[in-house]
Structure 1
Amino acid sequence: MGWTKEQRYRRVEDVNQVELQNLQTRVNECTWRQTFHIQPLSGLLNDPNGFSFYHGEYHLFYQWFPLGPVHGLKYWYHTKSKDLVSWENAGIGIAPDDYYDSHGAYSGSAIEYEGKLYLFYTGNTRDENWQRHPYQCIAIMEKTGQIEKLTHPFIRDVPEGYTNHFRDPKVWRENDTFYAVIGAQRKDKTGCVVLYRSSNLVNWTFEGELQTDLGTFGYMWECPDYFELQNYGVLMFSPQGLEPKGDLYHNIYQSGYVIGSKLDTITHSLSHGSFQELDRGFDFYAPQTMVNPDGRRILVGWMGLPEIDLPTDKNGWAHCLTLPRELSVRNGKLIQRPVQELQALRRQETEVKGVLKNTKNMYEEFKGVSYEMVCEFENNDAVVFGIEFRAGDDEKTVIKYDTVEKKVILDRSSSGETVGEAYGTIRKCFVNTKKIKFHLFVDTSSVEIFINDGEEVFTSRIFPRENRNEIRFFALSGSTTFQAKKWSYV
């Protein structure tokens, strides 16, 4: 259906219970509802926000339009967890009900201070001519879980030289000083990040633009996140407007990072290497990180992208979040591994090993719709080898390694109902290796694949029919040995 402006900006509080119940029924009837990923009760989920640990629990908010699978009036929806595995819905965290967020509570971050959790977000407003004006806003959560917004924004105006595409504050602390990076667009329609400073989280001073080596690099940088890890400085952001280049930048918008020396907060300069994509799959955007109590840097991303239709739209919902990933640095790049807590999801274990030579094999009890699987290949002289999963009849999703190109390839051209075909059905990346490990987390309508213990990751939504549960191992033009272990999740 086409959504009018009025429909997109309805408040959920103004909708009658019959309409909400009918929407919930449509959502619950969907065969692609996930089993172990965070997903919306109804409507559209997008950016993760306010990811933090406070008062003994992980808190994770996300952008939410409750009334349908479109980008409408955004709320912050609140989920919480004690273990990063089981998440409890805690209801609306921030509602867009003030003059400074009248057209949406947009993305932001969280930080604990003086026993309270401060939530920073962008309030979106529109005037009578539908011109955008952003405000940077604060809400404060008490240990009881009660959240109250401050009555005034902490940044009311966009600095000179930038457009009203100015959003997504990410806050951190260094000693007694707080800093915030905000995604921005210069007046010449190029993207960048700006820096603010505060001593008390309420009064902020504009410090200037972060000085990077990227020059002109897309037209808007969304969802910036600066952090330090293993003595490196990392700037993570989601640039819009990059043109495809080889195997890179084939999604509608990209997410990635630069890594190098720590940010100089006096000169605002960041010395770094080249921009690197965080995820090689089809569906990954707007990631956010936090540090947990034992010092691990943990990332969660939106398993989706703006402006892409999904088969779940007809059931009144769209998108989910990725699994939490622990970050580390190796050889100048971020390594992403599924957090160890996820092993608590494992149920029945099945194992198989063998030699594949110009063949495709299936094994008894090696099948499923919702599971974790680790598969290692070595002693290869096959030209191509890999795995077909969520397979059956003419449907399959394929992860494989081409030993000639030295590339990992994810192919969802036959995965079921199609998604984003205008941006291609294959994703590739270069991995020079003799042995390869594929670590898959397969859910009802998604897959996250960690390559060689997090050297690369492919995240994608897939929409096969319900009974497509086969797993097939194959080798073409030669042989390979393999061993695989699978854990069912339901």
Structure 2
Amino acid sequence: MNQRELIEKANQEIERKRQIVESDYYRLRFHLMPPVGLLNDPNGFIQYKGVYHLFYQWNPFETAHGSKFWGHYTSTDLVKWEHQPVALAPSEWYEKNGCYSGSAIEHEGKMVLFYTGNVKDENGERETYQCMAVSNDGMIFDKKGPVIHLPKGYTAHFRDPKVWKKDDTWYMVLGAQDVTEQGKVVLYSSQNLTDWEFHGAITGSEMNGLGPYGYMWECPDLFELDGKDVLLVSPQGLEPEGDLYHNLFQAGYFVGEFNAEEFSYQHGAFTELDRGFDFYAPQTTTDVKGRRLLFAWMGITDENEKYQPTIEKGWIHAMTLPRVLSLKGEKVVQQPVEELKQLRKNEVSYENVQVNTEIVTLDKVQGTSMEMLIDGISYHSDSFEVTFRGAVNFFYSTKENKMSLHRKNFKDGRVESRHCQIYGIKKLHVFLDTSSIEIFVNDGEEVFTARYYPSVENESVSFKAEGKLQFNMKKWNLD
């Protein structure tokens, strides 16, 4: 099928399933979702001519990972988003099994997309091409075809181009797997966006003192933040290590120094960006306010993905809230964008709430879509916990200096947990949607992101402490 026919087929699927999708109780109120089918990685995040564009990996025809399109949302304020026509459909020989992830830049007034064309032959053998498409308006794209072919020494797991400009040169990082099945990030440079020079791997498994560190590194994003060079990347194949790396695939960052003359990147240790269950493939951009903004896929591909209850209603997965990044020492801090305050309604305030061993619920703190600011936290207690809608539990042990998030497993309902060390909690900033939670701890020093599926009846939030807990709280309904 040509691109026009594929897009028309996708539009028909949206209309065919619209009623069942929109009837789902678990549809989110203030997060980006697919209109039908499966959403995964954020792509091409950019502010272009005053408008934020967020593209996304999209399979409109099923709730599984098939041949991907680029779906497209736009916004002028990061709060109200409009779903736009499909940007890319897998219509050409070099992308026939999917227009995979990539990025967007502005050049000479035009928006330019770079993405991976995925091809599988009749034997299931993969081919990969890095492709370019150009638009005069950010809506309709003219495909230019491959600009990079697979270099020697790498398998066809070679994808997710992120492009940026430094001085007069364009640079591109790609996620890769070398022929020894080690995950890498590779670098290219160009003067004109069509002719790219390969500079090899700048970091990865068995490099920069890492030792073995995963069999594939996906979705790299290298940028300057507060005077340092931060690399976001999603390594696949890390084994769990204490409280770390318990999702099937990880998403995190390195802080270091990129040397554009020597095409090298020196960095410190890898740190997970989010401590929850559902956070992968983050991508950033800068806006006219000079902020480094991030979206991530609020989901992951694992063995429990197919048990999520929204599948019965014809859709799966969502994006995180947009976040602003900053650097404190060697730590990347994430905070919800200021614009989200526009969603607030019906402020409720509590001062000096006291919690002991009895469970405390606050009459006016209930609902399905809420923002909660819990600060002035003090405790003389071995532990305290907050339970949201009876379905997800945030727990802090003062003895172990460890916080945990617990939820029910999608497949069998058993409780599963994620943990993180932290030395004292002063503030919790919580965004609760119908089937998601994002908890920013101590102004974004750590974040827990998760999907969860509470019973329709339970809209309460409860507090409990082994000893004494005191806090102030503000709560808003979000719409």
TM-score after normalising by structure 1: 0.92
Cα distance in 2, alignment partners of residues 95 and 483 from structure 1 = 50
Cα distance in 2, alignment partners of residues 485 and 147 from structure 1 = 45
Tell me the amino acid that sits aligned with residue 355 of structure 2.
Answer: L
Deviations 1:237-256 (A, max 9, x none): 00000100011000010000
Cα distance in 2, alignment partners of residues 79 and 38 from structure 1 = 8
Please state whether the residue corresponding to 2:35 is helix, strand or coil: coil
Cα distance in 2, alignment partners of residues 451 and 379 from structure 1 = 14
Please state whether the residue corresponding to 1:427 is helix, strand or coil: strand
Cα distance in 1, alignment partners of residues 359 and 11 from structure 2 = 54
- Which of 78, 85, 101 aligns to 2:72? It is 78
Instruction: Answer whether contact 1:107 1:122 (CA < 8 A) is retained.
Output: yes
Q: Given the alignment of the two structures, is residue 165 of structure 1 paired with residue 154 of structure 2, yes or no?
A: no
Cα distance in 1, alignment partners of residues 379 and 127 from structure 2 = 58
Q: Given the alignment of the two structures, is residue 432 of structure 1 paired with residue 423 of structure 2, yes or no?
A: yes
The match for 2:323 is 325
Cα distance in 1, alignment partners of residues 138 and 179 from structure 2 = 43
The farther-off stretch of 165-174 and 123-132 is 123-132
What is the RMSD computed on CA atoms of the aligned residues? 1.7
Please state whether the residue corresponding to 1:153 is helix, strand or coil: strand
Deviation at 1:420, TM superposition (A): 6.1
Cα distance in 2, alignment partners of residues 60 and 195 from structure 1 = 24
- Which of 264, 280, 283 aligns to 1:288? It is 283
Deviations 1:328-377 (A, max 9, x none): 00021100000111111101101123211212111221111101001125
Deviation at 1:424, TM superposition (A): 6.8
- Which of 277, 300, 303 aligns to 1:305? It is 300
The match for 1:198 is 190
The match for 2:404 is 409
Q: Given the alignment of the two structures, is residue 335 of structure 1 paired with residue 333 of structure 2, yes or no?
A: yes
Cα distance in 1, alignment partners of residues 15 and 473 from structure 2 = 43
Instruction: Answer whether contact 1:170 1:181 (CA < 8 A) is retained.
Output: yes
Deviation at 1:390, TM superposition (A): 1.6
Q: 1:161 to 1:103 in 2, by over 3 A?
A: same
- Structure 1 runs, 4 residues or longer, greater than 3 Å off: 10-17, 19-22, 420-424
Deviations 1:405-447 (A, max 9, x none): 111111113xxxx3266997111100102x4211100001100
Please state whether the residue corresponding to 2:366 is helix, strand or coil: coil
Cα distance in 2, alignment partners of residues 384 and 144 from structure 1 = 51
Tell me the amino acid that sits aligned with residue 147 of structure 2.
Answer: F
Deviation at 1:467, TM superposition (A): 2.1
Deviations 1:231-286 (A, max 9, x none): 101111000001000110000100001102x2112333222111000000000000
Deviations 1:112-143 (A, max 9, x none): 00000110000001112121101100111212
Q: 1:96 to 1:423 in 2, by over 3 A?
A: farther
Q: 1:422 to 1:229 in 2, by over 3 A?
A: farther
The match for 2:365 is 366
Cα distance in 2, alignment partners of residues 192 and 206 from structure 1 = 14
Instruction: Answer whether contact 2:40 2:58 (CA < 8 A) is retained.
Output: yes
The match for 1:219 is 215
Deviation at 1:381, TM superposition (A): 1.1
Instruction: Answer whether contact 2:171 2:190 (CA < 8 A) is retained.
Output: yes
Alignment of 1:118-157 (within 5 A): 118-143=112-137, 145-150=139-144, 152-155=145-148, 157=149
Please state whether the residue corresponding to 2:380 is helix, strand or coil: coil
Instruction: Answer whether contact 1:110 1:171 (CA < 8 A) is retained.
Output: yes
Deviations 1:381-420 (A, max 9, x none): 11111311123xxxx311121100111111113xxxx326
Cα distance in 1, alignment partners of residues 135 and 400 from structure 2 = 52
Q: 1:20 to 1:372 in 2, by over 3 A?
A: closer
Q: 1:58 to 1:420 in 2, by over 3 A?
A: farther
The match for 2:452 is 462
Instruction: Answer whether contact 2:254 2:270 (CA < 8 A) is retained.
Output: yes
The match for 1:5 is none
Instruction: Answer whether contact 1:11 1:73 (CA < 8 A) is retained.
Output: no
Gap regions ≥5 residues in structure 2: none
Cα distance in 2, alignment partners of residues 20 and 204 from structure 1 = 38
Cα distance in 2, alignment partners of residues 388 and 313 from structure 1 = 26
Deviation at 1:319, TM superposition (A): 0.2
Cα distance in 2, alignment partners of residues 235 and 326 from structure 1 = 16
Please state whether the residue corresponding to 2:381 is helix, strand or coil: coil
The farther-off stretch of 99-108 and 300-309 is 300-309
